[in-house]
Amino acid sequence: MFKTAFPSKLLENAVSEFANLPGIGKKTALRLVLYLLRKDTIEVEKFGNAIIELSQNIKKCKICKNISDNEICEICSDESRDKKKICVVENIKDVMAIEKTAQYNGLYHVIGGLISPMDGIGPGDLKINKLIDRVAETEPKEVVLALNSTPEGDTTNYYIFRRISKYTPEITMLARGVAVGSELEYADEITLGSSIKNRIRFTFN
């Protein structure tokens, strides 16, 4: 009797590599691999090499820890950006999300996680000391705390606030409130409470 369900070791390897990815099970992995098998070798090499090159050559920006192709990322080296503003985010997805809004023109600092005593993550495990050094050194006009609106985010916000407040005149955080386009009756009461307490002057924009 045939030993394994896979007719080929090469196939099995590729499927198990795909199945290691988060949210991808054996069936999806097989579907993806069979899709790649129908493609030209050149295209599949392009796929594999894009991933390998990423892993081999990607750098973290020396200043903000955002990922970058160079020592200093495109944002930190962009002369048109306001270097006196630092926005603190958890990870590079958050950088990308804020960049997409086109509403912020300062620099970033990626701390790589949130303080979470439950998971044993303290300030020392994150890049918070680097942030504090950077703020102490550059004395920015404003530091925006743009961490998740969760207990861990709030804890981290508070910790950073305490450590940097002597080096910067203004520390801001993201407005919490009712999502744009959503109906009031579906907003949870804490969000709604926060949005009425921190209500802002009416504007058109």
Residues that bind its own copies (CB under 8 A): 1-2, 5-11, 13-14, 17, 20-24, 28, 30-37, 39, 41, 44-58, 66-69, 73-75, 78, 80, 91-93, 95-96, 99-100, 102, 105
Burial class of residue 173 (count of CB atoms within 10 Å of its CB; 0-12, 13-18, 19+): middle
Provide, rounded to whole angstroms, the least separation between the CB of residue 178 and its own copies: 24
How far CA 49 is from CA of 13, 21, 41, 56, 167, in Å, comes to: 17, 17, 12, 10, 45
Q: What is the dihedral of CA 186, 148, 161, 192, to 10 degrees?
A: 0
Q: Using the minimum distance from each CB to its own copies, give the nearer residue, 32 or 192.
A: 32
Q: Using the minimum distance from each CB to its own copies, give the nearer residue, 10 or 190.
A: 10
> For residues 201 and 176, what is the distance between their CA atoms, to the nearest angstrom?
15
Q: Using the minimum distance from each CB to its own copies, give the nearer residue, 70 or 172.
A: 70
Provide, rounded to whole angstroms, the least separation between the CB of residue 59 and its own copies: 8
Provide, rounded to whole angstroms, the least separation between the CB of residue 15 and its own copies: 9
